[in-house]
Chains A and B, each alone.
Chain A
Amino acid sequence: MFDKDKWQEIFGTIRKNKMRTALTALGVFWGVFMLIFLLGMGSGLEAGVFKNFGSQMRNKMYVWGERTNKPHKGFPAGRAIDITLDDLAAIKREIPEVDMLGPRRRMNATFVHYEDRSDNYDIRGEYPSMVEIEPLKVTEGRYLNQKDLDDRRKVAVIGTKVKELLFEDKSPIGKYVMIRGIGFKVVGVMAPIELKPWRISDTESIVVPLNTMCHAFGLEERIDYMAISSHMDTRVSVAEEKVVALLKTRHQIHPDDPNGIGHENVEEEIDQVVNLFIGIQSFLWFVGIGTLLAGIVGVSNIMLIIVKERTKEIGIRKALGATPGSIVSMILTESVFITAMAGYLGLLLGTLIIGGISYAMYSFEVDVDNFANPQVNLAAGVGALIMLVIAGTIAGLIPAMQAANINPVEALKDE
């Protein structure tokens, strides 16, 4: 039960001994602050590195056709494999691990003009799903939609660089760009979410519906490659194996042929980075907990000194009728209170600073390499606080027992 008198007694003691209390609190305050700050900065580092990878890259793969390496079922080695839209339908039908499929057909360096401006751009024939698989964002208008595909509309989404060169600062939406002399209505402008060297081509490309592209330019309906994402709870490598096996069967490729179906994912690289961060996190925890422990030992130490210092006071209290229990409870409560308060302040300051950094980076659009959106792990914070209360109890226990065992005769002896 909440004992108001006890707290008043403790607050009184604390208020009258501010310096002592502050010294006791400092170690724990600093320990918790360091723990929270280190972990927050660690999370910022992690977020920054994963931002570089591209947020949507974690469960994504690519497959494409290439020349076979082994003869199989009467087909000679060196046969070229073309992936088709039928393959895409088969994958969707037969492999439940696959979430989204995005086919892409490319026409490199194609002549494009708008009024008197012109240049050569890559034309991409795609499905609407591509914008969700690749780390792309729409800056104006919209991306392709299913209706574009169904009606085989002549519509285009242009990269930001294309827009700059052909339209300068005018809005391109609703205008017609001429691709090899055929007019395509611009419906949107796109850009990569993070502008990285390997994503610059996104800004210099024009996306049109795949079927429109094949029909308008007289191409057969094969695709250059497919981007495939697995469901969030499935590792993409599992889906990848099944997709490759399925395509090999469909295209009569020897199951052990290392070529024929090309495929790639960055799961292994990401795994490596994840492991690295587990390592860094463990190290930060180690350092943080160490600092915290030092703080707690400090509390225990200072409480011991305090009990020594208060020997006479405790002797007086005992002579006035304080039970050993009330003495233990007094010292323990003080210890826990100081530890918890100091810990809470540390938690608060750590969270404020990490939050402040995060907010400042967000509102001033600061873009630092390998650092983004630092966050405080709330569970870690609450856990640390609970640990602190327990630690405060342990820290106060030895001094409290000592206080309870003080012999009033000895304590009250006049020096």
Chain B
Amino acid sequence: MIQLKGIHKSYQTEYNSLHVLKGIDIDIQEGDFVSIMGSSGSGKSTMLNILGILDKYDEGEYILDGNLIKNLSQKDEAYYRNHLLGFVFQSFNLLAFKTAKENVALPLYYQKVDRKVRQELALEYLDQVGLLEWADHYPNQMSGGQQQRVAIARSLISKPKVILADEPTGALDSKTSEDVMDIFKKVNAQGITVLLVTHEDEISKMTNRVIRLRDGIIESS
């Protein structure tokens, strides 16, 4: 599903260049449940951004579901993000002025899905994460755990092949973290590849495979 071959990435600052990824090779199979671990500065966030087609890489090849992700137009990038990927962030990143239902439906808006269908699907996915009754609430009326579940529902609604989660439990207490991880397990059980970045061992233990990054290279996988 995901293949990284010799990925290099440097950031140019005003005075020097920062070599963040120094040749990453990974092969992740469809339906895998993987956690990426590493201290801050290890390059795990950069790697996730590249996997999410939010950032470009300098060298190597990234193949996502058989598509070479390199030198794409912004429009194509948007297409792959929309159709193949689902994002879950540490700080949830819900739109504050939209209700839970509207937030969940948003990816389908960019797929030009009919409004009625969008609404129905949004309710269906909210039900999957157990928040059907909260459909008309705004994010600031919900707890952190609930918001993250809304965000997961949003990442699932476009039926992606891969879910990318950046410290999804970083802002949650351990009880809600477990709830969220349970949902990820269920998602994974449906055959969706789940990749999450974390620095908590309890979280990574719940995944099938742990990739450890250190100073821009893979320590173990």
Contacts and interface: CB of A to CB of B under 8 A. Distances in A.
Nearest to B154: A320
A324 B72 CA distance: 13
Interface in A388-415: 404, 408-409, 412, 414
B67 interface: no
Contacts of B109: 5, 9
B93 A324 contact: no
A223 to B, nearest CB: 83
A409 B168 CA distance: 16
Interface in A277-325: 312-313, 315-325
12 contacts: A5-B115, A9-B109, A13-B97, A318-B54, A318-B78, A320-B110, A321-B79, A321-B81, A321-B82, A321-B110, A323-B75, A324-B75
Given A8-B115, A13-B97, A319 B74 contact: no
A316 B158 CA distance: 15
Contacts, number: 67
A181 interface: no
Interface string B71-98: 0001100110111000101110101011
Interface string A5-20: 1001100110011000
Contact of B102 (A12, A17, A319): A12
Contacts of B54: 318-319, 408-409, 412
Given A12-B102, A17-B97, A409-B54, A320 B49 contact: no
B52 interface: yes
B210 interface: no
Interface residues of A, number: 27
B107 interface: yes
Chain A contact residues, majority secondary structure? helix
B111 interface: yes
Given A316-B95, A319-B81, A320-B154, 16 more contacts: A9-B109, A12-B102, A16-B97, A17-B97, A316-B93, A318-B78, A319-B93, A320-B82, A320-B87, A321-B83, A322-B110, A326-B110, A404-B74, A408-B54, A412-B54, A412-B89
B102 A312 contact: no
Contacts of B49: 409
A323 B95 contact: no
Nearest to B86: A320
A234 to B, nearest CB: 64
A4 interface: yes
B195 interface: no
Interface in B99-121: 102, 106-107, 109-112, 115
Nearest to A404: B74
B55 interface: yes
A247 to B, nearest CB: 82
Contacts of B81: 318-321
Contacts of B115: 4-5, 8
A408 B77 CA distance: 12
Contacts of A17: 97
Given A12-B97, A414-B90, A414-B91, A320 B106 contact: yes
Contacts of B98: 12, 16
Interface string A346-374: 00000000000000000000000000000
A144 to B, nearest CB: 75
Interface centre among B81, B102, B115 (most CB of A within 10 A): B81
A323 B78 contact: yes
Contacts of A8: 115
A377 to B, nearest CB: 41
A321 B78 contact: yes
Contacts of B91: 414
A191 B102 CA distance: 73
The 3 A-B residue pairs with the shortest CB-CB distance, nearest first, are: A321-B82, A16-B97, A323-B78
Interface string A243-257: 000000000000000
Contact of B87 (A13, A313, A319, A322): A319
A322 B90 contact: no
A403 to B, nearest CB: 12
A408 B106 CA distance: 16
Contacts of A408: 54
Contacts of A323: 74-75, 78-79, 110
